[in-house]
Amino acid sequence: MPGFELPDRMTSLPAARAEFDPDVRQAARDLLAAPPVDILTRLLHNQESQVALLVARHVIEGFRTAADHDAPTGDPVDGLVDDVAGRVLGLRADLVRKLAALPSAPAEVTAAVLRERAAVALIGGCWLDVVSQPATQPAVVVNRLFGQHFRLQGEGNPRKGVHHLRRVALERAGVHLPDVGADDFAAKAGTRPLTTLHALFYLSLSRLPASFLPEVVAVHYVCHTLGVDEALLGLPAPLDEAELRAGLAEYVELTRGSPTGQADRRRLLAAVELAMTLEREQVDVLGEVARREAELPLEARVAAIIERHRPFAGRQHRDVRVAGRRLTEVFDDPGFDVAAFVRTFRDSRQLKPIHGGDGRFLRAIKFGGPMFGVFDEREAAVFAEWAARAAAGDLPDMEIPADRCGEAAAARWAAAVTASEPSGVRFAEARPADDRELFHRLVNIEAFPNTLPIARTKALANLDAAEVLFGRGAAGRYTDASWFDYTPQALLDRVDHIYWDKLVEPYRPLTEIPDRDEVVFIQKTFALGSLIDGTWAHRIGNVGRYRRTSDGMLAAIYADEMGRGDLRKNHITLIHQVLRSMDIQVPHIRDDAFLDQDELPDHLYGFSIHQICLALFPDTFYNEILGYNLGIEMFGLGEMRLHEAQKLRHHGFDPIYEEAHLSIDNFSGGHARQSAEIIIAYLDEAGRTVGDHIVQEEWRRIWRGYASFAYFVEHALVREATTPRTAELVI
Tens digits of per-residue pLDDT, 402-414?
Answer: 899 999 999 999 9
User: With 50 as the cut, is the pLDDT of residue 611 above it?
Assistant: yes
Strands 321-322 and 18-20: unpaired
What is d(CA 181, CA 102) in angstroms, rounded to the nearest whole number?
28
Give, in order, the Cα–Cα distances in Å from 150 to each of 153, 155, 554.
Answer: 5, 5, 12
What is d(CA 295, CA 654) in angstroms, rounded to the nearest whole number?
71
Residues 6+ apart with CB under 8 A from 235: 165, 166, 169, 229
Q: What is the DSSP string of 697-727?
A: HHHHHHHHHHHHHHHHH-HHHHHHHHSPPPP
Residue type, 216: V
Q: Measuring CA to CA, which residue among 629, 631, 608 is closest to residue 478?
A: 631
User: With 80 as the cut, is the pLDDT of residue 372 above it?
Assistant: yes
Greater confidence, 101 or 638?
A: 101
Span 84-109, average pLDDT: 94
What does the pLDDT read at residue 319?
A: 66
SS3 label, residue 263: helix
What does the pLDDT read at residue 298?
A: 86
731 pLDDT tier (thresholds 50, 70, 90): very low
User: Residue 120 CB: number of other CB atoms within 10 A?
Assistant: 23
User: With 80 as the cut, is the pLDDT of residue 76 above it?
Assistant: no
What does the pLDDT read at residue 400?
A: 77
Span 353-380, average pLDDT: 86
| Host H or E run for residue 19 | strand 18-20
What is d(CA 294, CA 105) in angstroms, rounded to the nearest whole number?
7
What does the pLDDT read at residue 52?
A: 97
pLDDT above 70: percentage of residues in the chain? 97
What does the pLDDT read at residue 730?
A: 39
Q: Report the topology of domain 457-722.
A: Heme Oxygenase; Chain A (1.20.910)
Q: What is the DSSP string of 593-646?
A: GGGG--SS-GGGHHHHHHHHHHHT-TTTTHHHHHHHHHHHHHTTSSHHHHHHHH
| Host H or E run for residue 18 | strand 18-20
Are the CB atoms for 185 and 544 separated by under 8 Å?
A: no
pLDDT tens digits along 137-165: 999 999 999 999 999 999 999 999 999 99
Are the CB atoms for 631 and 671 separated by under 8 Å?
A: no
Question: Residue ranges of the alpha helices (H) in 234-260?
Answer: 241-256
Domain ranges of the chain: 18-296+408-427, 299-391, 457-722
Span 376-386, average pLDDT: 86
What does the pLDDT read at residue 729?
A: 36
Span 183-204, average pLDDT: 95
User: With 50 as the cut, is the pLDDT of residue 199 above it?
Assistant: yes
What is d(CA 235, CA 323) in angstroms, rounded to the nearest whole number?
49
SS3 label, residue 305: helix
What does the pLDDT read at residue 725?
A: 58
> Residue 153 gets which letter from DSSP?
T
pLDDT tens digits along 623-668: 999 999 999 999 978 898 999 999 999 999 999 999 999 888 888 8
472 pLDDT tier (thresholds 50, 70, 90): very high
Are the CB atoms for 96 and 88 separated by under 8 Å?
A: no
Give, in order, the Cα–Cα distances in Å from 195 to each of 310, 672, 702.
Answer: 22, 43, 39
135 pLDDT tier (thresholds 50, 70, 90): very high
Average pLDDT in the chain? 93
What does the pLDDT read at residue 432?
A: 98
What is d(CA 192, CA 411) in angstroms, rounded to the nearest whole number?
12
315 pLDDT tier (thresholds 50, 70, 90): low
What is d(CA 158, CA 85) in angstroms, rounded to the nearest whole number?
31
User: With 60 as the cut, is the pLDDT of residue 71 above it?
Assistant: no
